[in-house]
Amino acid sequence: MTNLETSASSLESTALPLLVEPDGRGITDLIAERRAELRAGLAERGALLFRGFDIGGVDGFDAVVRALSGEPLLYTERSSPRSTIKGRVYTSTDYPPDEEIFLHNENSYQAAWPLTLFFYCVEPPTSLGATPLADIREVYRLIDPQVRREFEQRGWMLVRNFHADFGAAWQDTFNTTSREEVEEYCSRNGILCQWQGKEGLRTRAVRRAVHVRPGDDVPRWFNHLTFFNVSTLPADLSEGLRAMFAPEELPTNTFYGDGGEIPAEVLDHIRGAYRRATTRFDYHRDDVLVVDNMTAAHGREPFTGPRKIAVAMAEPHGSE
């Protein structure tokens, strides 16, 4: 395995992802034989890139997931629109091409999340459209110790509001029309839920901002507190939403775990730490990118052209 040559904008200290190329065998045979070594490399470095293999479409991709990680997961408590391609293989988020998706760790706002994520390039974009990656051990180190301490003591809170006539409907997010099912889901997953009027719902979840990954005790900046904060949205959208809603009534927004507002300069500082730790590469057709969700954050660049990336997740892990 060799380091993938990344763009000049990437930091020398960032060695994401680790490149794996064909050695004469098919990809699933290669994984079967080198599984322990590949999994160790993935946990240590944060991402693997399989390049140059004949994947064999979505069925072949599904077989890669099973060979490396076992059964893929269902996608629940949706925060972003995805469509099912086949079985447990989904589209990457259906989000406007001209907008960036900020770096995040999948489902870190939930009580459980996948340890391993898979991205399969069915159709590369014409320009940009990378899945940028950032080592979250590095993000943690780049954040001012005082800022970290504040979050380590207070945690962070995600507040979501499902309004009857604006934004996502709770029925779509929770994939049910039953209020009882929503209440049960929330109580099982450490979420407070409050019905608002006839159709509205507010949910609040307090989570930890810093976690360790099973297997070591290196702290990781593992949360969605920047991603879901209204200030991370494009300026015009952020201003429009803030003109319509109070901070706690926004469709999604984040706070300290005790409900205190997070100062704008703290959010700027954290976004800056993510940017400094970010590396990127251009997708080739048939690339399979494997991301260790508790070691690397991922995002999406804006893009032009077709871009079709299939996604699967595996290896559920509960909050420790």
**Shortest Cβ distance from residue 200 to Fe ion (Å)?**
27
Considering the complex, state which of residue 134 and residue 147 has its C-beta at the smaller distance from Fe ion: 134
Three-class SS state of 4: coil
**Shortest Cβ distance from residue 149 to Fe ion (Å)?**
28
**Shortest Cβ distance from residue 189 to Fe ion (Å)?**
19
Strands 47-50 and 18-20: parallel
Considering the complex, state which of residue 106 and residue 150 has its C-beta at the smaller distance from Fe ion: 106
**Shortest Cβ distance from residue 90 to Fe ion (Å)?**
11
Are the C-beta atoms of residues 254 and 228 closer than 8 Å to each other?
yes
**Cα separation of 89 and 259, whole Å?**
37
**Shortest Cβ distance from residue 119 to Fe ion (Å)?**
9
Are the C-beta atoms of residues 143 and 269 closer than 8 Å to each other?
yes
Sites of contact with Fe ion (CB under 5 A): 106
Residue with tokens 């810093």: 210
Q: Which amino acid is at 223?
A: N
**Cα separation of 27 and 6, whole Å?**
23
What are the residues whose beta carbons fall under 8 Å from the beta carbon of 282, sequence distance 6 or more? 124, 130
Strands 18-20 and 278-279: unpaired
